């Protein structure tokens, strides 16, 4: 059985980030890291070592949408229609 550590470490980081910063600032931090990772992968991904490291960085920031958007939606629009608003996003 594979370790669950690679899949849970981004969630831990996002949880830490959103508990220390406002949700909007956490989204800015994580999406900036994702943009830098994607851009770097496109330009520096020819090296096998950098390809592995940068694709891990892209994967690390990929789940931010699923973790931070529902929280931002609930903060912005309230909890009464949280499911409907998350579905619209």
Question: Can you give the residue ranges of every domain in the chain?
Answer: 22-88
Q: Is the pLDDT of residue 16 over 60?
A: yes
How far apart, in Å, are the Cα atoms of 27 and each of 20, 34, 66, 68, 85?
12, 10, 11, 7, 18
User: Which residues have C-beta within 8 Å of that of residue 11, sequence separation ≥ 6?
Assistant: 63, 67
What is the band of 89 on the pLDDT scale with cuts at 50, 70, 90?
Answer: low
The strand ranges marked E within the chain are none
Q: Is the pLDDT of residue 47 over 80?
A: yes
Mean pLDDT on 62-89: 76
pTM of the model: 0.72
Mean pLDDT on 61-78: 78
């Amino acid at each position: 059985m594979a370790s669950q550590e690679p899949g849970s470490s981004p969630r831990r980081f996002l949880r830490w980030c959103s508990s220390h910063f406002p949700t909007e600032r956490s989204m800015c931090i994580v999406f900036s890291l994702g943009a830098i990772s994607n851009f770097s992968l496109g330009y520096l991904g020819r090296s096998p070592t950098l390809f592995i490291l940068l694709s891990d960085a892209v994967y690390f920031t990929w789940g931010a949408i699923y973790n931070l958007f529902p929280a931002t939606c609930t903060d912005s629009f309230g909890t009464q229609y949280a499911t409907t608003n998350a579905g619209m996003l």
